[in-house]
C-alpha cells in the first residue's frame, strides 16, 4: 500500500511523516472555541480546590463559594473543552478518513454556536444559583436546550459526512457514528425534568455512564484510531475481529456500569449487582482495545519513537486502564464501603475526564495542528507539556485516592470506637486524616493547570512553516488471517444498533429501577421530616441548599455498613419519595446531614445560623465556606431545612 506523507521540520516537531490533510477544516473553530473554555475552567476549578485547604483565603461574593464554583468549573471543562473540542475532532477524522469534505459546513458552524451559547448560559446560570442539584447536569433547562440543539446539529453533520465517506471506513467510522448518536440521546435522557426520589438518582447515574463511556470514551477512541493510523503511515486503521470485539463490547457494557456509584444506597439490590457485574466486564473491552492498538503498532514502534501525539495516546490509554480498576473499586461491595463518598470519586473523575479523554483530545490537537493552524508546533513546548501534565495528574489523582482511603478507614475506626462520633466534633478526625492529601491534590491540580496552559501556547503558537508533502512510503498492511475481518458494518446496521443498545441500557439501569421505586409509599420520615409545603421556610432552605451546592460536600444517605454507624437510621427508598431531585450527595467533605436535626448542636436553629455565617468560630478545623454573604432570612431558611432532617 502506498500513501502520501508530510514531514514536520525535525528541529521543532521531530515527528514522523504523516499524510497531508486539508487546511482550514471545520475542526479549527471548534478547537479554538474549546481552548477559550479550557483555561477558565481550570482556573475556576483551582480556586474551588483552594477553599478546601485554605477556606478563609477567598471570601466575598456568593458565586465563588466551593459549592457553586465546583460545578461551574466541572461543567465548563466537560462541555466547553471536552465536548466541543471532541465534536470538532470527530468531524475532522471522519471526513479525512473517508477523504470527503465535511457535509453541511454552515450547519456545523450553527452547531458550534449553539453549544458554545449553551455553555455560556449554563455557566452564568449555575454561578447565579440556578443549578439543578445533579452532578454534570447542573445547567438550567434553557441552557440545556441550546446545548442539546447544538448536539443534534453536530450529530446530523457528522452522520451526513460519514454517509458520504466510505461505508467500510473501519473503527474510526464505527466509534464516531455511535458517539454522534449517543451524545444527544444521553443528554436528552439526563435532562428529562421532574423525576423524584430514587428515580432521579438512577437517571443521573445513567447519564454519568453515558456521557463518560458512550460519548467521551467512544468518541475519543475514534480519534485514537485515526491518529494512530496516520502517525504510522496508514490511510485508515486496519479493522480486525479484535477491533470489532472491542467496539461492540464497549457499546454493550459501558452504560450498564451506571450503578457503580450507587452501591449500598437506597436503590434496589439487584441494580447494585448489575453495576458490579458490568464494572467487572468493562475490564474486557479495555484489554481488547489495548491489545488491538499494540498489534497495530508492531514493527512501527521505531518509526514513532518520541512522537508527541502517540505519547499522549498511550498516556491516555494507561489512565483509562487505571480508571476501569478505580471504578470497579467503587462498585464492589467489599471496597465500596471504604471508598464511597470519599475523595476516591474525585480521583476517578481526574483519571477519566481530566486524564484519559483530555490526553486523547490533546493528541489530536498536536497531530492536526499543522493542518489547522498552517504552522508546525514546538516539540520543546510539547515535551514540557507532557512531563508537567504527567506530574500534575499523578499529584492530583494520587492525593484524591490516598485521601479517600484515609477518610474511609477513619470512618471504620470511628465506628469501632463508639465514643467517637462520625459527625459533629468527631468529624475533626476525618479532616485531619485527609489534610495532607488535600494539599497534595491541590498542588497537583495547580501543576496540571500550568501544563494545559503550555499546551494551548504550543498549539496556537506557530514554531515554523507548515509541513510540506514528501515522497511516498511503502506500508505492509498484511493482516493475520485469524484476525482478518470480512464483514464490515453497513450504515443501517450501525445506526440501529447504536440506538437499540442505548435504549436497552437506559431501560435496565434507569427506567426499570425508577418504575420499581416510583410506587413506593413514603415512610414516616419522608412524610414528617422531608416533605415541605410550598413557600415554607424549609422549602426555601432546600432551594438554597441546592443553589449553594451544599450537597457536593454533605451526603444525605445513611448506608447499612459499618462506616455509617452512628449517623442514624439506615436510609431506604421511601425516605426520598418527596424529593426532586433526591440529594444523595457526592462526597463527605463535611458530615452526613440525613438526620442532622436529631443530634446536637445541628438541631439548634440559632447555632446553625451562627455556624453557617462563620464556620470556624466554633469549629476552627472546619473547611466549610462562610455564608455570611446570605441575608439573615436566607441563613434562617437554610438552617431550618437542615434542622428539619430528623
Helix (H, G, I), strand (E, B) or coil at 352: helix
How many C-beta atoms lie closer than 10 Å to residue 419's C-beta? 6
- Burial, 519: exposed, middle or buried (Cβ in 10 Å; 0-12, 13-18, 19+)? exposed
The whole-angstrom separation of Cα 343 and Cα 436 is 13
Q: What is the pLDDT of residue 313?
A: 94
Rounded mean pLDDT of 278-299? 87
Task: Encode pLDDT of 75-84 as tens digits.
Answer: 999 999 999 9
Q: What is the pLDDT of residue 461?
A: 77
Note whether residue 550 is domain-resident. yes
The whole-angstrom separation of Cα 461 and Cα 154 is 28
Domain extent, residue 42, equals 24-167
Is the pTM higher than 0.95? The answer reads no
Note whether residue 428 is domain-resident. no
Q: What is the pLDDT of residue 152?
A: 97
Instruction: Collect all residues with Cβ–Cβ distance below 8 Å to 297 and sequence separation of at least 6.
Output: 228, 232, 304
180 has pLDDT over 60: yes
- Highest-pLDDT range among 266-280, 465-479, 615-629: 266-280
Task: Encode pLDDT of 21-74 as tens digits.
Answer: 444 478 889 999 999 999 999 999 999 999 999 888 776 666 788 999 999 999
- Among candidate residues 134, 167, 200, the one where a domain is terminated: 167
- On whether the CB atoms of residues 91 and 508 are closer than 8 A, the answer is no
- Among candidate residues 167, 188, 217, the one where a domain is terminated: 167
Q: What is the pLDDT of residue 392?
A: 97
- On whether the CB atoms of residues 607 and 596 are closer than 8 A, the answer is no
Task: Specify the DSSP element, H or E, that contains 389.
Answer: helix 379-416
Which position has the grid cell 460545578?
71
Note whether residue 348 is domain-resident. no
Identify the band that residue 620 occupies on the pLDDT scale cut at 50, 70 and 90.
Answer: confident
The whole-angstrom separation of Cα 19 and Cα 485 is 25
Task: Encode pLDDT of 193-225 as tens digits.
Answer: 989 999 999 999 999 999 999 999 999 999 999
Q: What is the pLDDT of residue 232?
A: 81
Note whether residue 219 is domain-resident. no
Instruction: Collect all residues with Cβ–Cβ distance below 8 Å to 53 and sequence separation of at least 6.
Output: 435, 438, 439, 442, 623
What are the b/e assignments for 429-448, b being 16+ CB within 10 Å? bbbebbbebbbbbbbbbbbb
- Among candidate residues 111, 135, 167, the one where a domain is terminated: 167
User: What does each C-alpha distance from 255 to 271, 321, 408, 498 come to in angstroms?
Assistant: 13, 17, 27, 12
Rounded mean pLDDT of 421-431? 85
Q: What is the pLDDT of residue 491?
A: 61
For residue 7, what are the β-bridge partners?
Answer: 468
Identify the band that residue 85 occupies on the pLDDT scale cut at 50, 70 and 90.
Answer: very high
Q: What is the pLDDT of residue 328?
A: 96
Return the higher-pLDDT residue of 435 and 302. 435
Q: What is the pLDDT of residue 4?
A: 34
Note whether residue 264 is domain-resident. no
Helix (H, G, I), strand (E, B) or coil at 144: helix
DSSP string, 489-501: PPHHHHHHHHHHH
Note whether residue 240 is domain-resident. no
Q: What is the pLDDT of residue 473?
A: 46
Task: Encode pLDDT of 100-113 as tens digits.
Answer: 788 889 999 999 99
Identify the band that residue 261 occupies on the pLDDT scale cut at 50, 70 and 90.
Answer: very high
Q: What is the pLDDT of residue 578?
A: 93
Q: What is the pLDDT of residue 14?
A: 40
The CATH number of whichever domain residue 567 belongs to comes to 1.10.760.10
Task: Encode pLDDT of 554-571 as tens digits.
Answer: 999 999 998 898 899 999
Note whether residue 411 is domain-resident. no
Identify the band that residue 18 occupies on the pLDDT scale cut at 50, 70 and 90.
Answer: very low
Q: What is the pLDDT of residue 471?
A: 38
Determine what percent of the chain is predicted with pLDDT higher than 90: 65
The count of structural domains within the chain is 2
How many C-beta atoms lie closer than 10 Å to residue 425's C-beta? 12
Q: What is the pLDDT of residue 5?
A: 35
536 has pLDDT over 70: yes
Helix axes 605-613, 632-644, angle to 10 degrees: 120
Instruction: List the single range of 256-265, 367-376, 512-521, 531-540 with lowest mean pLDDT.
Output: 367-376
Task: Encode pLDDT of 307-365 as tens digits.
Answer: 889 999 999 999 999 999 999 999 999 999 999 999 999 999 999 999 999 999 999 99
Task: DSSP letter for 549, please.
Answer: T
The whole-angstrom separation of Cα 35 and Cα 50 is 23
Mean pLDDT taken over the chain = 87
Instruction: Collect all residues with Cβ–Cβ distance below 8 Å to 78 and sequence separation of at least 6.
Output: 136, 211, 353
Identify the band that residue 493 occupies on the pLDDT scale cut at 50, 70 and 90.
Answer: confident
Q: What is the pLDDT of residue 465?
A: 47
Which position has the grid cell 442532622?
596
Note whether residue 60 is domain-resident. yes
Q: What is the pLDDT of residue 497?
A: 87
The CATH number of whichever domain residue 142 belongs to comes to 1.20.120
Amino acid at each position: 500500500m502506498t500513501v502520501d506523507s508530510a514531514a514536520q521540520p525535525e528541529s521543532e516537531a521531530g515527528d514522523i511523516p504523516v499524510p497531508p490533510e486539508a487546511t482550514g477544516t471545520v475542526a479549527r473553530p471548534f478547537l479554538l472555541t474549546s481552548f477559550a473554555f479550557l483555561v477558565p475552567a481550570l482556573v475556576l476549578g483551582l480556586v474551588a480546590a483552594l477553599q478546601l485547604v485554605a477556606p478563609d483565603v477567598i471570601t466575598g461574593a456568593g458565586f465563588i463559594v466551593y459549592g457553586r464554583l465546583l460545578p461551574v468549573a466541572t461543567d465548563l471543562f466537560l462541555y466547553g473543552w471536552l465536548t466541543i473540542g471532541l465534536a470538532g475532532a470527530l468531524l475532522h477524522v471522519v471526513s479525512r478518513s473517508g477523504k470527503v469534505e465535511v457535509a453541511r459546513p454552515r450547519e456545523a458552524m450553527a452547531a458550534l454556536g449553539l453549544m458554545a451559547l449553551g455553555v455560556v448560559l449554563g455557566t452564568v446560570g449555575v454561578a447565579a444559583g440556578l443549578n439543578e442539584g445533579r452532578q454534570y447536569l447542573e445547567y438550567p433547562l434553557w441552557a440545556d436546550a441550546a446545548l442539546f440543539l447544538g448536539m443534534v446539529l453536530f450529530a446530523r453533520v457528522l452522520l451526513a459526512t460519514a454517509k458520504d465517506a466510505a461505508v467500510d471506513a473501519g473503527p474510526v467510522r464505527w466509534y464516531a457514528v455511535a458517539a454522534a448518536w449517543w451524545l444527544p440521546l444521553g443528554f436528552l435522557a439526563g435532562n428529562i425534568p421532574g423525576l423524584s426520589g430514587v428515580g432521579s438518582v438512577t437517571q443521573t447515574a445513567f447519564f454519568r455512564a453515558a456521557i463518560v463511556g458512550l460519548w467521551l470514551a467512544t468518541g475519543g477512541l475514534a480519534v485514537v484510531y485515526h491518529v494512530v493510523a496516520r502517525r504510522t503511515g496508514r490511510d485508515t486503521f486496519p479493522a480486525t475481529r479484535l477491533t470489532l470485539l472491542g467496539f461492540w463490547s464497549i457499546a454493550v457494557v459501558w452504560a450498564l456500569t451506571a450503578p457503580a456509584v450507587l452501591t449500598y444506597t437506597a436503590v434496589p439490590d439487584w441494580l447494585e449487582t448489575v453495576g458490579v457485574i458490568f464494572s467487572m466486564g468493562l475490564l474486557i473491552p479495555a484489554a481488547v482495545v489495548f491489545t488491538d492498538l499494540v498489534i497495530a503498532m508492531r514493527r512501527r514502534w521505531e518509526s514513532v519513537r518520541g512522537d508527541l501525539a502517540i505519547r499522549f495516546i498511550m498516556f491516555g490509554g494507561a489512565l483509562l486502564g487505571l480508571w476501569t480498576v478505580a471504578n470497579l473499586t467503587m462498585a464492589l461491595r467489599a471496597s465500596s464501603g471504604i471508598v464511597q463518598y470519599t475523595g476516591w470519586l474525585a480521583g476517578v473523575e481526574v483519571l477519566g475526564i481530566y486524564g484519559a479523554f483530555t490526553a486523547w483530545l490533546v493528541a489530536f490537537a498536536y497531530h492536526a495542528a499543522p493542518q489547522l493552524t498552517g504552522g508546525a508546533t514546538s516539540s520543546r513546548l510539547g515535551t514540557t507539556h507532557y512531563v508537567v501534565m504527567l506530574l500534575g495528574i499523578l499529584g492530583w489523582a494520587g492525593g484524591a485516592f490516598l485521601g479517600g482511603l484515609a477518610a474511609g478507614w477513619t470512618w471504620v475506626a470511628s465506628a469501632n470506637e463508639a465514643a467517637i462520633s462520625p459527625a459533629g466534633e468527631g468529624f475533626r478526625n476525618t479532616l485531619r486524616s485527609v489534610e495532607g492529601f488535600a494539599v497534595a491534590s491541590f498542588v497537583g491540580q495547580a501543576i496540571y493547570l500550568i501544563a494545559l496552559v503550555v499546551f494551548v501556547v504550543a498549539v496556537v503558537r506557530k514554531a515554523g512553516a507548515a509541513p510540506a508533502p514528501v515522497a511516498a512510503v511503502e506500508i505492509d498492511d498484511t493482516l493475520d488471517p485469524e484476525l482478518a475481518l470480512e464483514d464490515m458494518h453497513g450504515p443501517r446496521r450501525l445506526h440501529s444498533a447504536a440506538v437499540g443498545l442505548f435504549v436497552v441500557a437506559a431501560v435496565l439501569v434507569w427506567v426499570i429501577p425508577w418504575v420499581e421505586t416510583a410506587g413506593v409509599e413514603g415512610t414516616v420520615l419522608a412524610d414528617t421530616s422531608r416533605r415541605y409545603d410550598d413557600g415554607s421556610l424549609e422549602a426555601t432552605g432546600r432551594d438554597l441548599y441546592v443553589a449553594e451546592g451544599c450537597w457536593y460536600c454533605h451526603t444525605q444517605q445513611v448506608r447499612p455498613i459499618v462506616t455509617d454507624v452512628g449517623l442514624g437510621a439506615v436510609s431506604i427508598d421511601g425516605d426520598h419519595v418527596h424529593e426532586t431531585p433526591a440529594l444523595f450527595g457526592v462526597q463527605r467533605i463535611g458530615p452526613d446531614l440525613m438526620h442532622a436535626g436529631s443530634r446536637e448542636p445541628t438541631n439548634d436553629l440559632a447555632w446553625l445560623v451562627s455556624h453557617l455565617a462563620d464556620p470556624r468560630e466554633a469549629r476552627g478545623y472546619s473547611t466549610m465556606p462562610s455564608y455570611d454573604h446570605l441575608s439573615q432570612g436566607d441563613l434562617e431558611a437554610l438552617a431550618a431545612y437542615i434542622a428539619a432532617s430528623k
